[in-house]
């Protein structure tokens, strides 16, 4: 699995073109691809914004409401911590797990027909489970709506591969996942530096991750 982050779509196209020109590709058969945009999970933050705008007596979803909402959202995106997440680098941790996912939108169970407040409540509870694994796993969420068959991609990075099992298992009991989540195939393995590619190809030993 090759993972590449770029600041623009053209950057992804350049990386793919460069990779396709490698002699290595003569030995590879493409199996899957996934294109998405790094994003912040903002249900908790936007719930607070909704409260502020209601307190300011703004009519929900009016022009004034939308303008104030966008202004506060831009302030959050400019926050240094959020900026680091939006313009992240591939986390340098030994093990990686990736899976795509959707929210159900069937006739009887439809995430998108729920009121915002109900969706926000469930996502806040969902986030609490993830925070119990703080420091043990680095999670990168990307939105793929309009770019891929799945709606989101979840990249997990950790120094202990068993963390993936524990985290995903715990979240399976969460209402947002148990009732409304649909999961695609999971891919997991060791992450290694490109300089270790000859080691990987030779099969002489397990390639390592260069922390420098």
The residue from 5, 61, 99, 180 that is catalytic is 99
- Hey, what's the torsion of the CAs at 150, 155, 156, 161, to 10 degrees? 80
| Catalytic site includes residue 43 | no
Catalytic residues: 99
């Amino acid at each position: 699995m090759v993972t590449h982050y770029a600041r623009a779509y053209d950057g992804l196209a350049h990386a793919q073109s460069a990779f396709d020109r490698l002699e290595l590709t003569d030995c590879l058969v493409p199996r899957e691809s996934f294109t998405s945009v790094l994003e912040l999970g903002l249900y908790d933050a936007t719930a607070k914004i909704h409260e502020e705008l209601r307190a300011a007596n703004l009519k929900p979803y009016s022009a004034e409401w939308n303008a104030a909402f966008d202004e506060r959202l831009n302030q959050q995106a400019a926050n240094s911590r959020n900026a680091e997440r939006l313009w992240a680098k591939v986390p340098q941790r030994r093990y990686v797990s990736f899976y795509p996912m959707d929210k159900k939108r069937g006739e009887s169970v439809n995430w998108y027909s729920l009121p915002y407040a109900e969706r926000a409540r469930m996502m806040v509870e969902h986030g609490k489970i993830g925070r119990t694994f703080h420091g043990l796993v680095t999670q990168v969420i990307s939105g793929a709506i309009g770019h891929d068959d799945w709606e989101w991609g979840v990249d997990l990075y950790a120094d202990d591969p068993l963390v993936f099992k524990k985290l995903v298992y715990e979240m399976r009991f969460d209402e947002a996942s148990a009732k409304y989540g649909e999961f695609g195939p999971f891919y997991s393995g060791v992450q290694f530096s490109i300089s270790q590619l000859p080691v990987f190809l030779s099969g002489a030993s397990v390639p390592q991750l260069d922390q420098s």
